[in-house]
Structure 1
Amino acid sequence: MTAPSRLRIGPVRRFTRNLVCPVDLLGRPLLLKYTREPSEARAEIRGHSQLASHYRVPTLHARVRVPGGYLLAYERLPGDTDSGLLLDLLNTDEPTHTLHAYMDQLTTTYREIILATAWSTNPAHVVRKLYWDRAAPGGRLDAYYAGADFAVADGLIDVPIARLDTYTLKINGRRHHLNWTATIRWLRSHFSAPEPVWAALTQGDPTDVNLAHPLAWFDHDTAGMNSILGEFANFLWYASALGGWLVPRYNPGAFADHPATFAHVPANTPEIRRADVDHTTSTIHIDYVPHLSAPRQAAVSAYWNQLARPVAGRLWPGADLANLLRPYLAMRIIGVYNLADLVPEDRLVLLARLTEAMSPAFDPTTYFLFLESPCPAR
């Protein structure tokens, strides 16, 4: 009889620039995370420590400096193929009782902790990675778009993005205008202003792959005092656009252990019905239908009604939540993926979504929940 193995190593997975690997060491299930950037590793360790007193997070057993970065050894929470994440509760045809119960627990936990830890502070004191750093000189907006010009949608609408302001955009029958250059300039200005922001202790990047089932929080390099509005925009945009559509399309390796995701991508992919330009009237016509699966609609609805609206009512009574969310949403739309790198159809939809978010008529209730069909009958 052979002795049981003292060490078992599972498959290595890549998430952005980090590598993770399940390991069983002396019967103890661990998750090893290799982070290349020492600064990110230090932020993760610090964020984990801050969250641990308020949220359920996996135990951090060890941290080791290794060539090129850090190796962090976490407690490995239960999970298997297509199980263990909020993502798996969304990868169904209809919302389940388990999903509804999960969203009740998630929103209750967030609501209590956000309101207990909220404070109005200078933006220098909040986690800056996902918003302020991306808008700063040399940040992601510069890396993606400084000096760049590209077509609105190659082969469909070949108007250069820099000239978009000279056209009227008729999106699903409604007239809009978008000045791309001015939008970038506005975002840089907004996230360089010193005005106080409401912040609270959160994980900062609440995606459906960073939220475990049963409820726990993974990935802590953006954890700490985060902009509450940034937290809201992040979850709402990820749940309604990135998680079910764009991330599976452009980073499929992240879902190697959750292959059911791919079967549901069609249910979350927008449908373009018209895309053309009339140069005689300087009008761009875009008709599209935003699709969102029933489980994702249920999750977004619960988050909006049970968390975003009640918290906003306490912290910004009487304020227009659409205006408050707009800069954070715009940054998520153009600051995650470089629009120029996307296929023309995806770029076109994102530009349409950006245009709608920048419109004075922007209404998060219909924008995220699709309570009415925005596409005219044809």
Structure 2
Amino acid sequence: MNGQPLLKIGPLRRFTRNLLCPFDLLGRPVLMKYTRDPVEAREEVRGRARLARHYRVPALHARLRVPGGYLIAYERLPGGTDHGLLLDLLNAPEPTAELHSYLRQLTTTYRDVILSTAWPTAPAHVVRKLYWDRAAPGGRLDAYYARADFAVADGLIDVPVSRLATYTLHINNRRHHLDWTATLRWLRAHFARPEPVWAALTQGDPTDVNLAHPLAWFDYDTAGMNSIPGEFANFLWYTSALGGWLVPTYNAAAFADHPATFDHIAANTPDVRRAEVDDTTSTIHIDYTPRLSAPRRTAVSTCWHQLVQPVAQRLWPDADLANLLRPYLAMRVLGVYNLSDLAPKDRLLLLARLAEAMSPTFDPATYFAPQESPCPTP
């Protein structure tokens, strides 16, 4: 007589510094998360408790201290290969009715919770991990760039980033200027300000792998009172750039259970058409064709129209959304990957996107989901 195995262990997966392992114990699906950092483990449990009052989150079964770190056991929600995440809805060839329904539920939940919990909050009392800590002395900006200088794009544009301020940038036939040193200095100063920011109870890192389908929220070490513009910038930038292009390119192992992601990288990777330097006029020409798959474009547009704009109209009716989002977007561009570690074309594209974000003409409504068009003729 064949009985059900007492313990069935699934494949071990690594996400950033954490390890995830699914297993079945007496037929009960469990997801075990291992983290080495005791502060992160504590914040994970506390963050989940905060969210559970307003959002759907898996049940917490146990938190155990083990040699070298902590194990946190959660209810494992249904999922599988190319199934169970928002990511999988975005990996479809075209937007589906299921995606539209999901996005309506996602934006409605976020809008209701944000508007009911929003409050001007001192920076010392917001979740600081993704923005303030990275801009602080000794944080990620310093670790990546404090004593570094590197070419804009080796072999294409060999101008060091430290000299970008001496050049005029023509990006897709539009004139821009980027002072690398001043941008870093501005970011550090911005996130050192003591003025309160509008914050609300959110997950803090709303990516297509942290949002389950059916709708639920994963990953809670940044959950709590988060900057509202930071939450928006995170989702919009991840959906339009990181999730479909950079993360699967540079962290492929994270998508082992969602291999359809790799079939769509080309559809989400901008195409560099021109990269030239004219030293006689101190001009850099960069032409690229933006690319974003239709499902990701739908997710960005829905987020903008059904979440960002309604919240902004209630909380900041007279504010310039571009100015509110700019510092958070710049931190996402610079503070996720070290640009010097990226392939030259990817680095070039991110520097171009940074220049566009820092421009006085920055328009977030078109920046995150630009209309694809033929690149201007050189």
Instruction: State the TM-score, normalized to the length of structure 2.
Output: 0.99
Structure 1 unaligned regions, length at least 5: none
For 1:279-298, list aligned pairs within 5 A. Answer: 279-298=279-298
8 A contact 2:290–2:371 mirrored in 1: no
Matches of 2:103 and 2:153 in 1, distance apart? 37
8 A contact 1:36–1:70 mirrored in 2: yes
Aligned match of 1:275: 275
Matches of 2:365 and 2:376 in 1, distance apart? 19
What is the DSSP-based 3-state SS (H/G/I as helix, E as strand, rest coil) of the residue aligned with 1:14? Answer: strand
Q: What root-mean-square deviation, in Å, do the aligned CA atoms of Structure 1 and Structure 2 show?
A: 0.9
Matches of 2:253 and 2:92 in 1, distance apart? 20
Matches of 2:164 and 2:287 in 1, distance apart? 17
Please give the per-residue CA displacement for 1:275-325, whole angstroms capped at 9, x wherever unaligned: 010001000000001100000000000000000011011111121100110
Please give the per-residue CA displacement for 1:219-263, whole angstroms capped at 9, x wherever unaligned: 000000000000000000000000000000000000000000000
Matched residue type, 2:348: L
Matches of 2:108 and 2:245 in 1, distance apart? 27
Count of residue pairs brought into register by the alignment: 378
Aligned match of 2:160: 160
Aligned match of 1:72: 72
Aligned match of 1:196: 196
8 A contact 1:277–1:285 mirrored in 2: yes
8 A contact 1:366–1:372 mirrored in 2: no
Divergent runs of 4+, >3 A: 371-375
Matches of 2:307 and 2:248 in 1, distance apart? 27
Aligned match of 2:53: 53
Matches of 1:346 and 1:291 in 2, distance apart? 13
Matched residue type, 1:278: D
Matches of 1:11 and 1:223 in 2, distance apart? 27
Aligned match of 1:137: 137
What is the DSSP-based 3-state SS (H/G/I as helix, E as strand, rest coil) of the residue aligned with 2:345? Answer: helix
Matched residue type, 2:282: S
Aligned match of 1:39: 39
What is the DSSP-based 3-state SS (H/G/I as helix, E as strand, rest coil) of the residue aligned with 1:288? Answer: strand
Give the CA deviation at 1:369.
1.7
Please give the per-residue CA displacement for 1:64-119, whole angstroms capped at 9, x wherever unaligned: 00111110000000001000000000001100000000000000000000000000
Matches of 2:142 and 2:302 in 1, distance apart? 35
8 A contact 1:55–1:217 mirrored in 2: yes
Aligned match of 2:148: 148
Matches of 1:149 and 1:125 in 2, distance apart? 34
Matched residue type, 2:109: T
Give the CA deviation at 1:372.
6.4
Aligned match of 2:219: 219
Matches of 2:357 and 2:374 in 1, distance apart? 14
Structure 2 unaligned regions, length at least 5: none
Aligned match of 2:108: 108
Give the CA deviation at 1:375.
3.3
Matched residue type, 2:56: R
Matches of 1:200 and 1:290 in 2, distance apart? 32
Aligned match of 1:361: 361
8 A contact 1:365–1:371 mirrored in 2: no
Moved more, 341-350 or 360-369: 360-369
8 A contact 1:51–1:203 mirrored in 2: yes
Give the CA deviation at 1:40.
0.5
